[in-house]
Amino acid sequence: MNAQVEQALEILKSGDARAFDRALESLQAAVYSFGMRFCGNREDAEDTAQETLLRLARQLKNFPDARALAVWLYKVAKTQCLMSRRQSKFAPAQMLSLEALMPPQHEPAGAPGKSWEVTPEEIALRREFRDHLEQAILSLPKPYRLVLILRDMEELETREVAEVMGISEETTKMRLHRARVYVRNALAKYMPGATPRFSFRTAHGRRPRGAPSGSITS
């Protein structure tokens, strides 16, 4: 579970008056950030945070522990995001086929100058890279986007993601892998020398609207 969320909920449940505002701000930051990652705009993220925390006030005493409450909180935030007024215009509704996401047969291995070998710190600092990452995530179909955000950004465990999504752990793992591969392939465009060509076709053989172009030249 996201440690920041769980800790803030523990503080609220404990009734510690001195730590109340700190815990509230921490929760606001976490839910707002989740909303930004999923919806991609401030207005929907603010609505998500407001509505989720108002509902939290009504449920605070009804959960035995902070972890169960955190799972519930993510379920509510997810629902709020799905109901948001300003849906991403990029996200396709199609399912992703792993076959279509696979690299082609003759992808050169270890192309000279490939820049996947950047350090995580460098990644975090590159504003342009972050923008491309955000766009790639926003162009994922919603079921895949949610799983990727919950697992790789909110850092929930697989079983917790499955619980929030109401799906099996196997389906969670399948969606997570396809989402990661999709984002990786989208980012490859901005990693000179890393990838010659990838196909972004859906199970129906169409490229999702707004998805990265199907031909990437190294």
Partner 1 sequence: MRDPRCKKIFAALSAYLDSELPEPSCRELQRHLQGCKPCITYLESLKTTIQACRRHPISKAPRPSPRVRAALLKALGR
**Footprint of partner 1 on this chain (CB under 8 A)?**
12, 15, 17, 20-21, 24-25, 27-30, 32-33, 36-37, 45-46, 49-50, 53-54, 56-58, 60-61, 98, 102-105, 107, 109-110, 114, 116-118, 120-121, 123-124, 129-130, 133-134, 137, 148, 152-153, 155, 158, 173, 176-177, 180-181, 183-184, 187-188, 191, 194-195
CB nearer to partner 1: give 75 or 114: 114
Work out how close the CB of 54 gets to partner 1 at its nearest, in angstroms, rounded to a whole number. 6
Look-up of token digits 């995530």: 137
Amino acid at 21: D
Name residues whose C-beta falls within 8 Å of residue 196's C-beta, 6 or more positions apart in sequence: 104, 107, 108, 111, 216, 217, 218
CA atoms within 13 Å, Cβ hemisphere of 92: 19
3-state helix, strand, coil in the chain (%, to 5): 60, 0, 35
Distance, in Å, from the CA atom of 207 to the CA atom of 199, rounded to the nearest integer, reads 8
Work out how close the CB of 194 gets to partner 1 at its nearest, in angstroms, rounded to a whole number. 6
CB nearer to partner 1: give 1 or 148: 148
Work out how close the CB of 109 gets to partner 1 at its nearest, in angstroms, rounded to a whole number. 4
Work out how close the CB of 160 gets to partner 1 at its nearest, in angstroms, rounded to a whole number. 13
CB nearer to partner 1: give 59 or 79: 59
For residue 62, what are the CA distances in angstroms to 30, 71, 81, 120, 160? 21, 13, 23, 40, 19
